């Protein structure tokens, strides 16, 4: 009897940046990891087990590529613009305190599905872009290259959206959250289609003796 092919995608959020520490909106902005972010990733790698991928598909932002290289040294990393964070336009690199007096910003906070950051990206186009990255970049890797496990190294927004689409339990993207350097592994039996059959935290915590 032929064995059912098991395929998995692990979604990992990039490590901490100084702009994250300062609670700035950094969508398309290109920031590197800060020292604390690097230390946090090293600690996560020491205390947990990240599943070994066949290939890493990363957002092309430095914070993602640097995280991929730190967590998965020696693995091939391909970049994909489709998995960038939302483009916050004129609000890039600004904080809540910078923007709270802005009427359009307050409307966006109240209704992000209907209001768009000026010169930025609305939620519908953001979701369309991420889904296109999934369909045009991820699925062909399983269909044409006979891979079994792909890591997507990305940002909080795209990860939340992908979980809302493919996690076993249907939940709104705002109900999901993931820490820096952390995420989830989604597993399918027989083909990467529809909602996955198994969802596990990544990295898996190592149980130490004593």
* Domain CATH code at residue 77: 3.40.50.1240
Helix (H, G, I), strand (E, B) or coil at 186: strand
Residue 95 belongs to a domain:
no
The pLDDT tens digits of the residues spanning 22-70 come to 999 999 999 999 999 999 999 999 988 999 999 999 999 999 999 999 9
Which of 1-10, 101-110, 185-194 holds the top average pLDDT? 101-110
Q: 116-134: per-residue pLDDT in tens?
A: 999 999 999 999 999 999 9
pLDDT value for 3: 64
Under the banding of pLDDT at 50, 70 and 90, the label for residue 207 is: low
* pLDDT value of position 135: 95
pLDDT value, residue 85: 98
Residue 57, in any domain of the structure: yes
Q: Judge whether 16 lies within some domain.
A: yes
CA max distance for the chain: 65
Residue 178, domain extent: 6-86+122-205
When pLDDT is averaged across residues 9-30 and rounded to a whole number, the result is 98
Residue 130, domain member (yes or no):
yes
DSSP assignment of 17-74: BHHHHTT---SS---PBPHHHHHHHHHHHHHEEPPPPSEEEE-SSHHHHHHHHHHSTT
* Residue 96 in domain: no
The span from the CA of 210 to the CA of 208, in Å, is 7
- Mark residue 90 as left, alpha or beta (left: phi above 0; alpha: psi -120 to 50; beta: remaining): alpha
Residues 6+ apart with CB under 8 A from 138: 9, 57, 150, 152, 192
Q: Is 23 among the domain residues?
A: yes
Domain count of the fold of the chain? 1
Average pLDDT (161-182) is 95
User: Do the domain assignments include residue 71?
Assistant: yes
Residue 163 lies in a domain: yes
Contacts of residues 79-82 at CB distance under 8 Å and 24 or more positions apart, as own/partner, are 80/133, 80/137, 81/133, 82/129, 82/130, 82/132, 82/133, 82/134, 82/136, 82/137
């Amino acid at each position: 009897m032929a064995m059912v092919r098991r395929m998995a995608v692990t979604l990992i959020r990039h490590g901490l940046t100084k702009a994250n520490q300062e609670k700035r909106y950094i969508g398309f902005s290109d920031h590197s990891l800060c020292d604390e972010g690097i230390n946090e990733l090293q600690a996560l790698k020491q205390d947990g087990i990240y599943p070994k991928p066949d290939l890493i598909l990363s957002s092309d932002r430095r914070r993602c590529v640097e995280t991929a290289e730190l967590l998965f040294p020696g693995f091939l990393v391909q970049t994909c613009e489709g998995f960038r964070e939302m483009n916050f336009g004129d609000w890039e690199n600004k904080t809540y305190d910078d923007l709270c007096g802005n009427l359009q910003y307050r409307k966006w906070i109240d209704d992000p599905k209907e209001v768009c950051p000026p010169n930025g990206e609305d939620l519908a186009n953001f979701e369309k872009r991420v889904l296109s990255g999934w369909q045009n970049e991820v699925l062909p890797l399983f269909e044409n290259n006979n891979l079994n496990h792909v890591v997507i190294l990305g940002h909080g927004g795209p990860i939340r959206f992908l979980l809302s689409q493919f996690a076993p339990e249907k939940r709104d993207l705002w109900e999901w959250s993931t820490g820096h350097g952390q995420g989830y592994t989604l597993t399918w039996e027989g083909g990467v289609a529809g909602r996955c059959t198994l969802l596990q935290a990544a990295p898996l915590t190592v149980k130490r003796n004593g």
